[in-house]
Structure 1
Amino acid sequence: MHKNLFFHALFFFPLLQELFIGHALRDREATIIHHFAFSNDPLQFRYPHFASGFAMSQALLKKIAYRLDCGDHPDMDFSIDPSHELALYIWENGKGPELTHASQLCLRNHPQCASYPLEFHACGNPVAKESMYFAVKTCSKYHKDRIPVVKHTWAKYVLHIGFYSESKDASIPTIDLGVPNTEHGHCGKTMAMLKHIAMIAPSLQDVRWVVIADDDTILSVARLRQLLSCFQPSKPFAIGERYGYNVQRSPQGYNYITGGGGMVFSMATVRQITGSTYCKCPSDSTPDDMFLGICLARLGITITHSPLFHQARPLDYAPEYLNPQLPVSFHKHWMVDPLRVYEKWFSKVDQQMEADYLAQKHVEL
């Protein structure tokens, strides 16, 4: 952030008014990540790009403090996108100010920018392919349409992968967990997956990271390898897209990693989860990602949020939000071609890192 330029960008705004200032984003269509707000006209509502920075006038801050002191907290169970939810709270159904767009709070750097998001850079060499185990959660009704997508895209670039189902299918092959499929929740299946991984860990001595993905998760193995270079696998880590449940209403609220975007655990975390009496599913159909959030909280393992994971499809996000990013994942095949999504967002970087990997292996031989 350029402090002088930031002050200059705010200089001409009247400080005595209630002002909320940022780089404005607008949804192109109603989306689940914003609770389908403004479904008739999503473009009418502006919310800030947090990574570009935002500002509030003193008058607005005083009003927010007064509302909170009076018990007027945001009325929502789930916290998904804090930028949109904050803008809704401030707008207060039309009684409060709308976001004022400031072009100096940029998406990318240029000379007139007061602030802009930093592009992600790896912290060192990408983690080794050998250090990652990918666990794909599936069921028999999706074996023929979703699993081929996984195999034709990102799974080409992994060394260790297991397809976990409620039935055996030698053509894939799947690992039958002995847990019946449920329409919702899947806690029983996910915990059985983690237990199976912990059981086979001695035969996967190089594996340090476990990635759990749905069969309709679309991801980049290369970008995951780059991201994980910033973490120590010997420590208990849980990485993904953070959601919150009742975090603004109750001390019993908790954070969790939303499963569709992919959940990454260090092997140390997998061992703690599977060895703990705190992490037994209430039922097979309990929401697995939410219960894992409770489990991790009980174990004292902090969830690390990364905005590079995405629970929804690319079209569910404002294009300007995705523009400066290097995404790790998207989720859902509904009304999109997953092969095209992979080709647009992930194919090139995965191919390049695979070429580098093969070249290095050739040198070693």
Structure 2
Amino acid sequence: MASLSRLRNFTTLILSATLLYGFFMLTPAAESETGTAASPSSVLKSRVLFVLMCQSQAASFHKQRCDLLRRHIEDQAKELKVPAGAETPDISIALAEDLVDPGIETFFYLPILAGNHTQLTQSDFVFFCHEETRMNLVGLLNQLAQYNSSKPLFIGSPLRDEGYYIVHHFSQSRHLYPFVYCGFAMSNGLITSLVEHFQVNKAKLGEYEFRIDPAYELASLISIELHLANLTALSAMCPRSVNLTDSCITWTTEMFRLPQCFPNSSAVSAVLNRTLFAVKTHQANFATVLSVVRDTWAKEAPNIIYYADVEDREIPTVACGVPNTERGHCDKLNRILHLLAESNNVSAQATNNADGSDKSNSSSALFDWFVVCDDDTLLSPSRLARLLACHSLSQPADSPLVVGEKYGYLSADGRHGYPYPTGGSGFALNRAALRRLTVEANGAGGIVVTRCGSAESPDDMSLGVWLRSLSVPIVHSHLLHQAKPVEYSPVLLRAQLPISFHKHLDLDPRQAYRDWLLDAGTDAASKPDVGSADDHKRDEL
């Protein structure tokens, strides 16, 4: 449990002023769990904890975005007014990391609940926010006031699977799960039940040994395993940052759809020109799978190397010196990382130029980012460059960082196991991370950390072990996808501009690339039902 001294870091806002009675008339009263509408005045006595789920405090870009979210809530809280003589709401804000012991992975939610922090159990409602969540605080508090917090309640914008998907463990359940990026709420009754469960089952992995989709797995635990509550669907929590109406009490920002940190495309092009793509392939795939890469996204990647088991001068490929294996590919990944490091002088210590590029770059060190992916990965280099540009602008060049889709082989309390970046979706290492994995890859006692259990050990999971041992943070991006488009909720995909997908089975990969990843000059926001920035009706922070 977090020490008492860390409680001083929490932002607790005790709000006082004059709130017009019309505050309570913003939305229709909902039926409470007992069958009668909760009293409007109940909001005045409520204690609401906002938990900020930042992508990574180690990544400067995400820390800045999380600071903006905090200010977004604080600024609205300061403007709240209450009727004369009424009690004010007790609103607290906490980083997820402050609710667990140091080093505990919070991305998958369960470790926060297993931590049994008093701020959770002493709140009437806990509202979990993504760093790109925005809200009408008055509307949200008013909505929560309609519910009986002593009942086990799980409230959010609903998603439901239309099939049996690998990203959801091929579960046959059709339970609802929340679109977490516009926030979701848990009542005190639910929080208390979950904390009690984890006090008895702290080391229990839960139904799933692998952590893939935190939202789905949290809902599965609450609804299916423990039978505590089904998700209460709240349509006023709006997934998309466009086409909003006044009824939306939460939504996502344009930065959620796809980060944009530079005002012009030339800066993003500069980042793309300083990004090297490394594609893992083998001879049997040259004429089939690899041809898709060459026909599609490779045309948008100015710097690309195909690493294979054999050299082919026509493609061309680079022989990495590792025989192909049926699965795992750990040795191949390890060798590719070292080849990239050797050919790009990553041993040179780096500092940033004003535009975020690496000052150490010269003719022998051309690249700031190294993207590793499979030959059946479909991706958009330009969109990825937009994401990486945000990190290049804010992250110190000597601070290692890996950007990818984060999965986990973790216990529920986060104390055992490790997170890892999925290989099929592709992941990006900055120069400092590549240097740490190669030149500086010595652990305790000088032992080289980056070793494979076998040539067929899973490459991405092995990388996760190495990164944890070397204290290199993995920053999750929801825009990278380990599976095919059909494996994800259409609502989720329509709310974003995806960067990557993976696998060709039962799919026309060229068409999938055109449908989801090809930007036709004006960015894919022009595609049907995706929306554009011009439609954005809310102020961005």
TM-score (norm 2): 0.62
1:296 equivalent in alignment to 2:470? no
Asked if the contact 2:271–2:388 (Cα under 8 Å) also holds between the matched residues in 1, the reply is no
Which residue in 2 is equivalent to 1:313?
484
1:115 equivalent in alignment to 2:250? yes
Which residue in 2 is equivalent to 1:226?
386
Structure 1 letter corresponding to 2:181:
A
In the TM superposition, structure 1's runs of 4+ consecutive aligned residues that sit over 3 Å from their partners are: none
Structure 2 letter corresponding to 1:123:
C
Among 334, 338, 346, which residue is 2:505 paired with? 334
Cα deviations by residue, 1:47-69 (Å, 9 ceiling, x for unpaired): 00000111111111111111111
Cα deviations by residue, 1:94-142 (Å, 9 ceiling, x for unpaired): 7321111000111123211110122223222314332010000011111
What's the secondary structure of 1:116's corresponding residue? strand
| 1:64-213 alignment runs, 5 A limit | 64-71=194-201, 73=204, 74-93=206-225, 95-108=227-240, 109-120=244-255, 121-124=259-262, 125-126=267-268, 127-202=270-345, 204-213=364-373
Which residue in 2 is equivalent to 1:63?
193
Among 206, 212, 217, which residue is 2:377 paired with? 217
Distance 1:259 1:326 in 2: 20
Alpha-carbon spacing, 1:195–1:35, altered in 2? closer, same or farther (3 Å): same
Alpha-carbon spacing, 1:238–1:247, altered in 2? closer, same or farther (3 Å): farther
Structure 2 letter corresponding to 1:206:
L
Asked if the contact 1:76–1:246 (Cα under 8 Å) also holds between the matched residues in 2, the reply is no
Alpha-carbon spacing, 1:233–1:333, altered in 2? closer, same or farther (3 Å): farther
| 1:245-260 alignment runs, 5 A limit | 245-248=409-412, 251-260=415-424
What's the secondary structure of 2:478's corresponding residue? coil
What displacement does 1:35 show? 0.5
In terms of fraction of residues, the more helix-rich structure is: 1
What displacement does 1:29 show? 0.7
What's the secondary structure of 2:510's corresponding residue? helix
Distance 1:204 1:315 in 2: 42
Distance 1:337 1:233 in 2: 41
What's the secondary structure of 1:162's corresponding residue? strand
Number of equivalenced pairs = 348
Ranges in structure 2 where 5+ consecutive residues have no aligned partner: 1-134, 346-362, 442-447, 524-541
What displacement does 1:169 show? 2.0
State the identity %: 38
Asked if the contact 1:187–1:285 (Cα under 8 Å) also holds between the matched residues in 2, the reply is yes
Asked if the contact 2:271–2:389 (Cα under 8 Å) also holds between the matched residues in 1, the reply is no
Asked if the contact 1:211–1:262 (Cα under 8 Å) also holds between the matched residues in 2, the reply is yes
Which residue in 2 is equivalent to 1:325?
496
Distance 2:211 2:285 in 1: 30
Distance 1:204 1:99 in 2: 55
TM-score (norm 1): 0.91
Which residue in 2 is equivalent to 1:362?
none
What's the secondary structure of 2:466's corresponding residue? helix
Asked if the contact 2:272–2:382 (Cα under 8 Å) also holds between the matched residues in 1, the reply is no
Structure 2 letter corresponding to 1:230:
C
Asked if the contact 2:182–2:250 (Cα under 8 Å) also holds between the matched residues in 1, the reply is yes
Asked if the contact 1:218–1:329 (Cα under 8 Å) also holds between the matched residues in 2, the reply is yes
1:16 equivalent in alignment to 2:150? yes
Structure 2 letter corresponding to 1:166:
D
Deviates more, 1:116-125 or 1:165-174: 116-125
What's the secondary structure of 1:259's corresponding residue? coil
Cα deviations by residue, 1:233-278 (Å, 9 ceiling, x for unpaired): 7231100000111242663311110111001001221122112111
Which residue in 2 is equivalent to 1:346?
517
What displacement does 1:204 show? 4.9
What displacement does 1:311 show? 0.4
Distance 1:159 1:300 in 2: 31
Which residue in 2 is equivalent to 1:263?
427
Distance 1:330 1:8 in 2: 39
Asked if the contact 2:211–2:409 (Cα under 8 Å) also holds between the matched residues in 1, the reply is yes
